[in-house]
Chains A and B, each alone.
Chain A
Amino acid sequence: MKRKVLCVLAVLLVISLLSGCSVKTSGDPAESKTTTLTYWTFNGLHEALFQDAAKKWNKMHPDRKIKLNSVVYPYGQMHDNLSISLIANQGVPDLVDIEQKRFATMVKGNKIPLVDLTSLVAKDRDKFVESRLTMYSKNGKLYGIGTHVGTTVMYYNTEVMKKAGVDIDKIQTWEDYVNAGKQVKKKTGKPITTIETKDPNNFLPMIIQQKSGFFDKNGKLILNNKINVKTLEFLRDMVYKDKVAVPTPGGNHHAEEYYGFMNQGGAASVMMPIWYMGRFLDYMPDLKGKIAIRPMPAWTKGGDRSAGMGGTATSIPKASKNIDLAKDFLQYAKASKEGNIKLWTVLGFDPLRWDVWDDPALQKENKYTNYFTNGTGLFNTLLELKDEINPLYMTKDFPAVSDKLATQILYKTIKLKNESPKKALDDAARELK
């Protein structure tokens, strides 16, 4: 009998524990004016930006206080969870970071589950780098506010370049770049750069530079057009014909293998967006004071010298219960001048609004500027480039094309070298149609 009672007690205890856990902690009644906003992200740094903004916001708006409940999920799983929740129309956050590749899939269909944010940038739209708004728009409506322009630049290892006797300011075109590569190779035995085989961070900016992309303005797949085939051939030739580049160790510029390789001066340069500065600081400490930032080489003299790459947009799901507050807060955090300055000072990103690029705050020294040889004057260089950033058109198939490049095309043409660029792109285009 005693044992039975014990059993019942145990079950009761467990049940009470369970129900205890499922009770939501409701807000403190004392701060009844405070609204809790849930914010999902997959990047701990973005969390810092938003928490900082929330603190400032609460000072400015004591009547509309916010308690930001931010949750950092693993990258893939956060997006998976969001897809499921948007379809179930339940359990969505008030604010959510969506990475550019996954963004296109979230605005699929006719009933877009995200709030129209066009009004947040309406007032000074001309101050934004427009191509970064186009990216997160559908049918003329804006559904997410980006985090940076992702201006793609060339990071040169000046030590290696000096040894090879190359003046990096003389490199204007890709042809110059390849010739410089030959000299670097001859003098130092090192490749001038690395080509990603698991991510399109070389290929994509180089085709955007030439006003190409994966899709045209009307959403038609142009993956295997002439420009793209020619560009992929160019990349392959850099590795196998001119022998001035190598496939990236570890497959992309975020691999541990690459960080180790580059940190030891493995290659003379790397082409990545501005947001890659942080990666130098965190993973390549030995290169401090040796890296110079320059525009990308152009395809022709006077051609476009950059492209916007990567990105994460913050959106508001329609099922959120605090849409108005979330909108106003988002406007403050990411679309205002003040917020845009923070994008640089907190995250080291090139802000979406170019009208802050010459702000004194962006000229000040900080840990980012101190790492690079031309860190403090950086935004003067970027201001030159702002009108050379062409738009990238997205459709719902963007992630599929991007993945095809990452897992098949680059791997087969550059790593294995067992397929011609034309055939690889044609095959992929056929499958994706």
Chain B
Amino acid sequence: MKVVHSNTQPVTLSKEKKRSWFSGMLYSRKVAPYVFVAPFILSFLIFFAYPLVQTFIMSFQEVLPGETTFVGLENYRRLNNPTFYTALLNTIQYTFWTLVVLIPIPLVLAVLLNSRMTRFKNIFKSALFIPVLTSTIIAGIVFRLIFGDMESALVNSFLIKLGLDPELWLSNESTGMFVMVLLASWRWLGVNMLYFLAGLQNISNDLYEASDIDGASTFQKFFHITLPSLKPVTVYVLTISIVGGFRMFEESYVFWQNYSPGDIGLTLVGYIYQQGLAYNNMGLGAAIGIVLLVIILLVSVISLKLSGSFKEEH
């Protein structure tokens, strides 16, 4: 068809050819997908792949203004120190606790919200979602006021009224972790609940009806139908929570600006800031980044593998 087209108007051949090539592009199912994904490929190469490779190279260098020196594995060797392990442990603990809170609770809430028992569903959904709209910085301001060390601060004055001892919330290891996890839970509970709700709406009613005929109890239905059907969503939420946990920085920053007593709030990303920027050891910062990246990839792949997600993909 294209050939015929250009043959009929030989005078404007070159121009026509161009247009037909162009319209061919527009119509071609072979070319089209690449047009669609081109923005991704471009931005990936320029703003992701190249900087990442640079980071990798930097992790073997000492980087200073106007001079970079190759130092081999020195930066990685320097990671063998107590502060790095504190940061690693804090990060793992934080991730663990956010997983413990932010998966089962939203799941159960979603099931309850999806049931016929609950009214005002949209109001509940919206109300629980609103916290995530506030930035961590703003949320942090409020949480710092609520969990102040003073006896007259909100939570402490409440504890005193109950006859309990006030707590130095932001100065102790366990309470510090508690406040960070609480902040994250407050912000993300509603989002995860909506993800689970999405999953619930994809479960066919036939399954429940069939089990009703079999006389299954509510709990049996939950464990035999609901939970297995929610697996894909759970895996998704699990993966983004793991990634989010290991990338955590802001939840700690808003309380201590990266200088927490006893390093109770130091995370791996916080350690990148400390070493890479505050101490101007960009090479070391890059090395921490690479280690962090490897950890995230490993944990994600393991969790995906354990949940059998790879089999479903293809």
Residue ranges of A at the interface with B (Cβ–Cβ < 8 Å): 76, 79-80, 83-84, 86-87, 89, 102, 105-106, 108-113, 197-198, 249-251, 255-257, 260-261, 396-397, 399-400, 403, 406-408, 411-412, 415-416, 431
Contact = CB atoms under 8 A, between A and B. Distances in A.
Contacts of B66: 89, 109, 111, 113
A76 B64 contact: no
Nearest to B149: A257
B150 A79 contact: no
Contact of A407 (B81, B149, B260, B280): B260
B82 interface: yes
B262 A408 contact: yes
A251 B82 CA distance: 23
Nearest to A402: B259
A345 B63 CA distance: 42
A113 B65 CA distance: 6
A396 B277 CA distance: 13
A197 B261 contact: yes
A287 to B, nearest CB: 18
Task: Name the 4 nearest CB pairs between A and B, nearest first.
Answer: A109-B64, A111-B66, A105-B280, A113-B65
A40 to B, nearest CB: 15
Contacts of A260: 150
B261 A407 contact: yes
Contacts of A89: 65-66
Given A76-B273, A407-B262, 20 more contacts: A76-B278, A79-B278, A80-B273, A80-B277, A83-B280, A87-B63, A87-B65, A106-B280, A109-B67, A111-B67, A197-B261, A256-B148, A257-B148, A257-B149, A406-B259, A407-B260, A408-B262, A411-B261, A412-B262, A431-B83
B303 interface: no
Interface in B114-133: none
Contacts of A407: 259-263, 266
24 contacts: A76-B258, A87-B63, A87-B282, A89-B65, A102-B278, A105-B278, A108-B64, A109-B64, A109-B67, A110-B64, A111-B64, A111-B67, A198-B261, A249-B150, A396-B279, A399-B278, A399-B279, A406-B259, A407-B266, A411-B261, A411-B262, A415-B171, A415-B261, A431-B81
A411 B176 CA distance: 14
B7 interface: no
B226 interface: no
A111 B66 CA distance: 6
Nearest to A404: B83
A412 B263 CA distance: 11
A197 B81 CA distance: 23
Interface string B45-71: 000000000000000000111110000
B274 A251 contact: no
Contacts of B28: none
Interface residues of B, number: 27
B149 A87 contact: no
Nearest to A260: B150
Query: Could you say which of A403, A406, A412 has the most chain B C-beta atoms within 10 Å of its C-beta?
Result: A403
B43 to A, nearest CB: 15
A412 B171 CA distance: 11
Contacts of B260: 407
Query: Could you say which of B266, B273, B279 has the most chain A C-beta atoms within 10 Å of its C-beta?
Result: B279
Contacts of A399: 278-279
Interface string B248-274: 000000000111111100100000011
Interface in B168-183: 171
Nearest to B257: A76
B65 A111 contact: yes
A223 to B, nearest CB: 15
Contacts of A198: 259, 261
Nearest to A77: B277
A79 B282 CA distance: 14
A411 B86 CA distance: 15
A250 B156 CA distance: 14
Contact of A86 (B65, B81, B82, B171): B65
Query: Could you say which of B81, B148, B278 has the most chain A C-beta atoms within 10 Å of its C-beta?
Result: B278
Contact of A249 (B149, B261, B273): B149
Contacts of B148: 256-257
A416 B64 CA distance: 38
Contacts of B282: 83, 87
A261 B150 CA distance: 9
A110 B64 CA distance: 9
Contacts of A102: 278
A256 B144 CA distance: 11
Nearest to B280: A105
